[in-house]
Amino acid sequence: MKKLFRLVSVIVSSLALLLVLTACGSKPLADQNVVTRAKQSNTITWGVKADTKLFGLMDVKNSQIKGFEVDMAKALTKQILGPKGKADFVQVTSSTRMPLLKNGNIDAIMATMTITPERLKQVDFSRSYFDAGQSLLVKNGSPIKNVKDLNKNGATVLGVVGSNSVQNVAKFAPKAKVLQLSDYAQAMTALKSGQGEALTTDNGILAGMSVENPGYHLAGGAFTKEPYGIAINKNQPEFKHDLNHALTKVEQSGQYNRILKKWFGNVPGLNYKEMER
Amino acid sequence: MIAIFHNYGSLLLQGFGQTLLCSVIALVFSLIIGSMFAIFETTPIKALRVIARIYIEVFRNIPLLVITMFFFVVIPMFITKINGFTAGTIGLTIYTSAFIAETVRSGIQSVDPGQMEGARANGLSFWQAMRYIVLPQAFRYVIPPLGNQFINLVKNSSVLAFVAGFDLMYQGNVIASDSLNTMSTYICIGILYLIITLPLSYWMRYLEKKLA
């Protein structure tokens, strides 16, 4: 009993120490003015996905992340810092991106992040840079043409745990059964093995999957609106203004459409012209 | 935490039921299959020993998740459609049966060889001697390690979450991502697992006392 007590007290005191250490330190990075810091170091650090085809995917040959969001981030950096500005990239996932932004490891998140009211409570968003929408991925020759076809007993839709897309399915096709898998690769595997009729998530991500898996295509177009925005810390009005301004410039110069065409130009079932700006 | 039970009660209950059902099915079948292979391992027939050895070594040394994913992904591609729950339960049964086989084998081998010889000398066949003389003693020896295997089985049933088997862990993931209250959710899930495993562990202890 005495030993147990000693163990508990050691754990408690070490936790307390950890808490004190994290609370100390100078002004947190996340509260410093990003624009001033970026201009000093001539660098903006972006959090991007490294596992999402077409948006941000690690190229194993030269270990560089490539994709639509990476190209956009580079273009925006050049608009904000001038032609010599440098864009640094840090890999994030859906669960690590918020903490990394909050503790100042990255200046902005550009990682297929939908602007939602809940997230707006935690972070600020730029204007939307990509008009995603939820869609379906089905096998070629599948009788499912749109989300209404799934609204019948016995239909199974595959999704990923923690995405709002599974909740949307309950709204648009309440009779369908939803299987939530742990990530997109697993969901794709389940679709291939016939565990469900369709896979649902944002069309941009599905586009990447259909490019990688010939024989599967997007069906029915987007049935929700999921605008992707660049997330930044709150209390950075200057950075937000600069980002929106840079985004407008990139759109007006036609660079946006060029990047869009480069990545989404030949995806079966996705009309990139609808997304042009 | 009370809010979680309150708002997601039906999901938790469904998950609890699925976990319990999967555990009971897997427990019964893995005990039968495991004991069968344990007997195979100790028979004088070489072919059976080899088969048992291969079965045990293969399934004991592959991660449970791999076995389960195999049934979830590969079987529907070539043979027949099976859902996540079935795939998970089959995977869990096979995986656990390999461990149970090893446990029961150790029990059989710890029974003094004189018992078997005596039984055979009295005219019992090998199977009769196994059934009436050796196995009853062997099971008494292996109750504590078997209890371990059963408890592991219940906890391992969380593998169903990966193949959308609607078990406790799956519902836990769903609730955590829906309520954004990760910690309370997993505490609730932990408590529900304890509700299954604690009585099991006390029951095993009771059996051990009663039979030993």
How many CB atoms are closer than 10 A to CB A88? 14
Which class for A74: exposed (0-12), middle (13-18), buried (19 or more C-beta within 10 A)? middle
pLDDT above 70: residue A1: no
pLDDT of residue A69: 93
Asked if A189 is an interface residue toward chain B (Cβ–Cβ < 8 A), one would say yes
Sole residue written with tokens 């010889």: B117
Spatial contact of A233 and A124, defined as CB atoms under 8 Å apart: yes
Sole residue written with tokens 């968003």: A125
Which class for A46: exposed (0-12), middle (13-18), buried (19 or more C-beta within 10 A)? buried
- Enumerate residues 44 to 103 of chain A having a beta carbon within 8 A of any beta carbon in chain B: none
Domain extents in chain B? 2-211
Provide the β-strand partners of residue A199: A137, A158
pLDDT of residue A27: 60
Kindly state the greatest CA–CA separation across chain B.
68
Spatial contact of A136 and A226, defined as CB atoms under 8 Å apart: no
- Cβ within 8 Å, pair A182-B162: yes
- Cβ within 8 Å, pair B177-A162: yes
pLDDT above 80: residue A269: no
Nearest to B190 by CA among B9, B12, B28, B71: B12
Q: Quick one: closest CA in A to B179, which residue?
A: A162
Nearest to B164 by CA among A189, A136, A163, A178: A178
Three-class secondary structure of residue A48 per DSSP: strand
Taking contacts as CB-CB distances below 8 angstroms, the residues of chain B near A181 are 162-164
Neighbouring residues of B69: CB distance < 8 A, sequence distance ≥ 6: B162, B163
The two structure tokens encoding residue B33: 């299959």
A119 against B99, higher pLDDT: B99
- Cβ within 8 Å, pair B173-A189: no
With bands split at pLDDT 50, 70 and 90, how would you rate the model's confidence at A3? low
Mean pLDDT (whole number) for A35-48:
89
Amino acid sitting at position A60: V
What distance in Å separates the CA atoms of residue B64 and residue B69, rounded to the nearest whole number? 9
Q: Is A241 left (phi over 0), alpha (psi -120 to 50) or beta?
A: alpha
- Cβ within 8 Å, pair A194-B84: no
- Give the model confidence (pLDDT) of A167-199 as tens digits: 888 889 889 988 988 888 889 999 998 889 999
- Cβ within 8 Å, pair A181-B162: yes
Which residue of B74, B164, B177 is in closest CB contact with A181? B164
> Taking the domain B2-211, which CATH number applies?
1.10.3720.10
The two structure tokens encoding residue A104: 């100042």
Which of B163, B185, B189 is best to mutate for the A interface (most A CBs within 10 A)? B163
Q: Is A260 left (phi over 0), alpha (psi -120 to 50) or beta?
A: alpha
First vs last Cα of chain A: how many Å apart? Answer: 69
**Chain region(s) in chain A for CATH 3.40.190.10:** 33-131+228-275, 134-219
Which residue of B72, B77, B174 is in closest CB contact with A161? B174
Taking contacts as CB-CB distances below 8 angstroms, the residues of chain A near B172 are none
- Cβ within 8 Å, pair A161-B81: no
Spatial contact of A247 and A59, defined as CB atoms under 8 Å apart: no
Asked if A190 is an interface residue toward chain B (Cβ–Cβ < 8 A), one would say yes
pLDDT of residue A271: 77
The two structure tokens encoding residue A189: 């595997």
Which residue of B84, B173, B177 is in closest CB contact with A179? B84
Neighbouring residues of B182: CB distance < 8 A, sequence distance ≥ 6: B176
CATH architecture designation of domain A134-219: 3-Layer(aba) Sandwich (3.40)
> How far out from the chain centre does Cα B129 lie?
27
What distance in Å separates the CA atoms of residue B118 and residue B108, rounded to the nearest whole number? 15
The two structure tokens encoding residue A221: 């177009």
CA distance B11 to chain A (A): 14
- Give the model confidence (pLDDT) of A8-23 as tens digits: 676 667 666 655 555 5
- Cβ within 8 Å, pair B177-A193: no
pLDDT of residue A22: 53
Taking contacts as CB-CB distances below 8 angstroms, the residues of chain A near B178 are 167
pLDDT above 80: residue A248: yes
What distance in Å separates the CA atoms of residue A200 and residue A218, rounded to the nearest whole number? 10
Taking contacts as CB-CB distances below 8 angstroms, the residues of chain A near B81 are 194-195
Nearest to B98 by CA among B48, B45, B54, B68: B54
Measured between alpha carbons, how far is residue A141 from residues A187, A218, B136 in Å?
Answer: 19, 12, 59
How many CB atoms are closer than 10 A to CB A37? 16
∠ CA A241-A245-A246, rounded to 5°: 120
Provide the β-strand partners of residue A159: A180
Taking contacts as CB-CB distances below 8 angstroms, the residues of chain B near A179 are 84, 164
Mean pLDDT (whole number) for A236-264:
92
Amino acid sitting at position B173: N
- Cβ within 8 Å, pair B84-A193: no
Nearest to A41 by CA among A108, A86, A11, A79: A86
pLDDT tens per residue, chain B (212 residues)? Answer: 788 888 888 999 999 999 999 999 999 999 999 999 999 999 989 999 999 999 999 999 999 999 999 999 888 888 888 888 999 999 999 999 999 999 999 999 999 999 999 999 999 999 999 999 999 999 999 999 999 999 999 999 999 998 888 999 999 988 887 776 778 888 999 999 999 999 999 999 999 888 86
> Taking the domain A33-131+228-275, which CATH number applies?
3.40.190.10
Which residue of A181, A186, A195 is in closest CB contact with B76? A195
